[in-house]
Amino acid sequence: MNNDIERVIYSAAAIQKRESELAQQLSDEYRDKKPLIVSVLTGAVLFTVDLFDKMDIYAQLDFIDVSSYGGGTQSSGHVKLLHDLKHDIKGRNVLVVEDIVDTGRTLKFLIDLLKDRDAKSIKVCSMLDKPEGRVVDVKADYVGFNVPNEFLVGYGLDYKGFYRNLPYVGVLKPSVYAE
């Protein structure tokens, strides 16, 4: 699997270091708020777990699944809810954790969905942000790294469902797409 990677953008060590900084910031922000951490399946799971276990505060964890990509490298533009939260978020401080914000369609869909449920606050923490890819006007409140407009894999990010288990974020060799 490693042989399919052209270059590494963020090493495992760089990711862990940035997560420690974010976890500290988030712990300060949410210390007395008992937030509900909403992890967006499937891509954000690895980031969520590593961030969550660095946060020394009372927090609960839930998952939501939405789909926009059809498994390739281009967003389909259609977002739908595949699996809903277990928790009622009324009156809760909600922190949505995403892997990457590209066009912003997924995030916009999620925020609009959750906004109708009377949460006390809704904020977003995304491991990666691709500002150049934005089509819809949304912003993550906390971002790990801003990345160039390239298709990335690893640390939760997939190509056709694979490469999520790489411990770093990288770019695939063009030959992989040609297959």
178 and 69 Cβ atoms separated by less than 8 Å = no
Q: Least distance (Å) from ligand IMP to the CB of residue 95?
A: 16
CA dihedral of residues 125, 129, 135, 139 (deg, nearest 10):
30
Give the DSSP letter string of 156-170. TB-BTTBSTT-SSEE
Partner from Mg ion, ligand IMP, none contacting 19, C-beta within 5 to 8 A by type: none
The tokens for 175 are 């030959």
Residue 43 makes contact with Mg ion by CB under 5 A: yes
Partner from ligand IMP, Mg ion, none contacting 102, C-beta within 5 to 8 A by type: ligand IMP
Residue found under tokens 């809760």 = 92
Residue 156 makes contact with Mg ion by CB under 5 A: no
Stretch touching Mg ion by CB under 5 A, among 23-31, 43-51, 73-81, 126-134? 43-51
- Residues 94, 171: Cα–Cα separation, whole Å: 32
Residues engaged in binding ligand IMP (CB under 6 A): 43, 68-69, 75, 98-107, 151-152, 157-158
Which positions are catalytic?
102
* Interacting residues with Mg ion (CB under 5 A): 43, 99
